[in-house]
Amino acid sequence: MAHLFKESPNALEINSQPAFAAKTLPDGKRLFRRKHGFNITVDANGNNELVLTVPYAAAKINELELVNCEAGDKVDFMVYDSEQGLYQINILGMPAEQVNPNLMLNQFGFGVYLPDGAYKDISKYDADVYGTMRLKIKYYNNSAIQRTIYGNIVYHEVKE
Q: What tens digit of pLDDT does each residue of 26-82 get?
A: 999 999 999 999 999 999 999 999 999 999 999 999 999 999 999 999 999 999 999
Nearest by Cα to 137 from 27, 57, 36, 28: 36
SS3 76: strand
Beta strands in the chain (DSSP E): 2-7, 12-17, 23-24, 30-42, 47-53, 58-69, 74-80, 104-113, 117-130, 134-140, 147-159
Where is pLDDT greater, at 50 or 10?
A: 50
pLDDT of residue 47: 98
Rounded to an integer, what distance in angstroms lies between the CA atom of residue 14 and that of residue 155?
A: 30
Average pLDDT of the chain to the nearest whole number: 89
Q: Is 0.85 surpassed by the pTM of this model?
A: no
Beta-strand relationship, 104-113 and 47-53 = unpaired
CATH of domain 23-159: 2.60.120.380
| Least confident segment among 22-36, 113-127, 140-154 | 22-36
